Structure 1
Amino acid sequence: MYIAAFIYKPGQRDEKFHRLSAIIDDIAISLPGFVGAQSWTSADRTLINASYYWEDEASIQAFARHPRHLEAKRQYRRWYAGYQVVISKVERTYGDGAIAQLLSNDRQGQVRRA
């Protein structure tokens, strides 16, 4: 499994941002290899981390190359005061299963946003 963490400093987010963000989430959910997603906001509320979980790197690349995602990338300066993407390969996961169930629910179209 891989995680594509999109860490950003929000700028001015307008109606177009929210529409495009929802479309991008729908695209991620629809792609083969999508596992789930979660978003976190830093304690000082200056950064947001939107993490997308994928089965493999090919799935991440399919998402990155999707035309609507590329459209959003071209316009990022309108909505973000800065960003960083971190792609990580997951070596192992463990826990009591409750969080894994939440990720499984995300696969059904319930992406959580900060």
Structure 2
Amino acid sequence: MFLVTFRLDPGTYDAEFHELNDAVQAAAEDTDGYLGKRTWHAPESEEVLVVYYWASLDALESFGADADHREAKRRWTEWYDAYEVTVTEVVESYGSGFGDDPDPPA
């Protein structure tokens, strides 16, 4: 499994952002190998972390080729003050206390 952590400092969102953001999320969900996402908001700042879960690097690369996703990456300065992406391969995952389903969110 691969995780993509998208860390962002939001700027100003307009209608065009929301339309493109919705299209990018739909493209992710339509990509074979997309497993879900989780979002966290930092209590002391406006920073946001979004972690996307992917079954394989091939799935992630397939999503990366999506035209809406590429457009959003080109236009990031219109809507974010800063961003950072980290791609991580999960070697092992374990624990308890989050219910019976250890899989990422759908």
Same fold (TM over 0.5): yes
What is the deviation of 1:97? 5.1
Instruction: Kindly tell me the number of residue pairs found equivalent between the two proteins.
Output: 104
Does residue 16 (structure 1) correspond to residue 16 (structure 2)? The answer is yes
Provide the residue aligned with 1:100 in structure 2: 102
Deviations 1:43-84 (A, max 9, x none): 223211111100111111111111110011111000000110
| Aligned partner of residue 92 in structure 1, secondary structure | coil
| Aligned partner of residue 102 in structure 2, secondary structure | helix
Report the identity percentage: 26
1: CA distance, partners of 2:74 / 2:41 = 24
Gap runs ≥5 in structure 1: 107-114
The answer to whether the 8 Å contact 2:35/2:104 transfers is no
What is the deviation of 1:37? 0.7
Give the structure with the larger helix fraction. 1
Stretches of 4+ aligned residues off by more than 6 angstroms: none
2: CA distance, partners of 1:45 / 1:25 = 24
2: CA distance, partners of 1:53 / 1:43 = 23
Larger Rg: 2
2: CA distance, partners of 1:101 / 1:52 = 12
Gap runs ≥5 in structure 2: none
Superposition TM-score, scaled by structure 1 size: 0.83
